[in-house]
Amino acid sequence: MATRNHHVCFVVPPYLLSAISDSEHNDAPTRESARHALDHHKKYTGKRTKRFAELTLPRGARGAAAAHPRQNIVPNHMLKHIAESEDVDENTRACAKRDLEHIQKVNAKYVTSQGLKRDTSDQKTLAATEEAPSHTVQTYRAVYDAKNDQDEADLPGTVVRVEGQKASKDEAVNEAYDNAGKVLSFYADIFNWKSIDNKNAHVISSVHFGEKYENAFWDPEIAQMVYGDGSTFLTNFTGAVDVIGHELTHAVTEYTSPLDYTGQSGALNEHVSDVFGIMVKQRVQNETADKADWLIGEDCLAPGVKGVALRSMKAPGTAYDDPRFGKDPQPDNFSKFESNYDDDNGGVHLYSGIPNKAFYLASVAFGGYSWEKAGKIWWETMNSGQVAAKVTFIQFADVTVDKAEELFGADAGTIVREAWTDVGVVRKSST
């Protein structure tokens, strides 16, 4: 268990923040910090809900995502920094120079077409176009320092480390940079998916957001990761590759099968992020499905907390039990699903544990590494065009069974169906 006071992602559910803020076992500053993070969580959730609603109009898993403008043009000052940096390798410098020249040409066309005076500001560059050179093969990572500013309008902050540059003296910067790279490598190597959008979208992160901010998140409006510095109980989140995998997968979901962020479809949205986040972690640790711990955010709880992680995919509801946190409330069976649950967009974080356990059961039943069969089935499901925006658990399950049979045969379909049945996701009897 890490001991540094660091970062936590929006993989942290609101019910956990609420429990911390309400518990009389916590001092006033701790409760206030959690309450503050919870307020921001609600604001962000509204943005995510709006984002996925926009992506799913008109309905059609691929059509909506493809129609959405790409948010992957990095500021020209960052490209210039890479192109001129002496501690970046020659190939990276050449790619940055090429892409900088391209965006400057596009920006000039935009300025001319709009009858504007030339403006070389980064914002003009960012707004100029959604085009990218067809020959671009480089995905740029950049990490900025928000310097404890909590005004999102000031993001990303001050650039610290960019693609190809040597490590910084700031450990949070290096963790955010390196772990984003591990997530991108997973998608590229396992699923031949380039960055978050399959078009080499650039991945920008800001660390040190806010004062003792106990969360981190993918902001869909500005298309970047944002990390707080954590506080009393929640720590070390730039160092948790599963957490970063979880959040970046929310972006991938935008470009595969956008799922409405409410009720069952919202819980599946969270579930998909947990699935790919855990596979990234297992790949980094070289763990087969039967040997892995299936814990999400195991490095996120500070020493002394009575718990092992933020969530358990193997045994939902068992991740923690601490008077300062409460008990992990995730159910592990659909029989415990309440359709009238009002909090957290209908329980998107709470009920994700049900499909999470189904994926765990399928992975272990298949054997080997989780991404070899179960992961491939879930990936093909999300790319099938058969997942509706307001998909239910049973509808999603049906698609995974179909994909299992297509990819690996009838026996594989039986394994996946049994996994869903074991968590109570079954068709209602017609008799």
CA dist., res. 360 & res. 410, Å (int):
19
pLDDT in tens, 89-113: 777 777 667 666 755 665 555 345 4
Q: Strand 203-209 to strand 216-219: parallel, antiparallel, or no bridges (unpaired)?
A: unpaired
Question: Residue 120: pLDDT band by 50, 70, 90 thresholds?
Answer: very low
| Contact yes or no for 220/159 (Cβ under 8 A) | no
Higher pLDDT, 60 or 169: 169
Residue 75 pLDDT greater than 60, yes or no: no
pLDDT in tens, 310-338: 899 999 999 989 887 789 999 999 999 99
pLDDT in tens, 209-237: 888 777 778 887 788 898 887 776 777 77
Q: Is 77 a catalytic residue?
A: no
406-415 average pLDDT score? 98
Residue 411 pLDDT greater than 70, yes or no: yes
pLDDT in tens, 11-67: 566 667 677 777 778 778 777 766 766 666 666 666 656 666 666 554 444 444 444
- Pick from 125-134, 136-145, 151-160, 192-201: least confident: 125-134
pLDDT of residue 359: 98
- Which residues are bridge partners to 224 per DSSP? 219
Catalytic residue among 247, 270, 298, 380: 247
H or E stretch including 18?
A: helix 14-22
- Pick from 4-8, 21-25, 77-81, 141-145: least confident: 4-8
Query: In the block, which residue shows the tokens 């004062």?
Result: 211
What percent of the chain is modeled with pLDDT above 70? 74
Residue 129 pLDDT greater than 70, yes or no: no
Write out the DSSP string of 144-195. Answer: EE-TT---GGGTT-EEEEETTPPPPS-HHHHHHHHHHHHHHHHHHHHH---T
Phi, psi dihedrals of residue 143, rounded to the nearest 5°: -120, 130
pLDDT in tens, 416-428: 999 999 999 998 7
Residue 193 pLDDT greater than 50, yes or no: yes
- Which residues are bridge partners to 159 per DSSP? 144
CA dist., res. 43 & res. 254, Å (int):
19
Residue 355 pLDDT greater than 90, yes or no: yes
Residue 380 pLDDT greater than 50, yes or no: yes
Cis before 58? omega within 30: yes
Inter-CA distances, 139 with 135, 197, 413, Å: 12, 11, 36
| Contact yes or no for 300/310 (Cβ under 8 A) | yes
CA dist., res. 363 & res. 370, Å (int):
5
Q: Is 349 a catalytic residue?
A: yes
pLDDT in tens, 251-291: 999 999 999 989 999 999 999 999 999 999 999 999 999 99
The residue among 203, 237, 240, 236 whose CA lies nearest residue 222 is 203
Catalytic residue among 36, 202, 349, 380: 349
**Quick one: angle between helices 410-422 and 353-366, nearest 10?**
140
Q: Can you tell me whether residue 405 is helix, strand or coil?
A: helix
| Contact yes or no for 430/414 (Cβ under 8 A) | no
Sequence spans of domains, the chain: 73-131, 258-422
Residue 415 pLDDT greater than 90, yes or no: yes
Domain 258-422: homologous superfamily in CATH: Neutral Protease Domain 2 (1.10.390.10)
Q: Where are the beta strands (DSSP E) in 308-367?
A: 311-312, 321-322, 326-327
| Contact yes or no for 412/403 (Cβ under 8 A) | no
Inter-CA distances, 168 with 142, 164, 174, 202, 213, Å: 12, 12, 6, 20, 22
pLDDT of residue 230: 78
Which residues make Cβ contacts (< 8 Å) with residue 139, sequence separation at least 6? 163, 184, 194, 195, 200, 201, 202, 203
Residue-averaged pLDDT of the chain? 80
Phi, psi dihedrals of residue 12, rounded to the nearest 5°: -75, 120
Between CA 249 and CA 142, with CA 61 as vertex, the angle to 5 degrees is: 30
Q: What is the largest CA-CA distance in the chain?
A: 73
Half-sphere exposure of 313 (CA within 13 A, CB side): 32
Token representation of residue 368: 């080997």
H or E stretch including 247?
A: helix 241-254
pLDDT of residue 168: 95
CA dist., res. 270 & res. 240, Å (int):
17
| Contact yes or no for 92/81 (Cβ under 8 A) | no
Residue 340 pLDDT greater than 70, yes or no: yes
pLDDT of residue 99: 61
Phi, psi dihedrals of residue 324, rounded to the nearest 5°: -85, -15
Write the single-letter amino acid at 268.
L
Higher pLDDT, 354 or 153: 354
Residue 342 pLDDT greater than 60, yes or no: yes
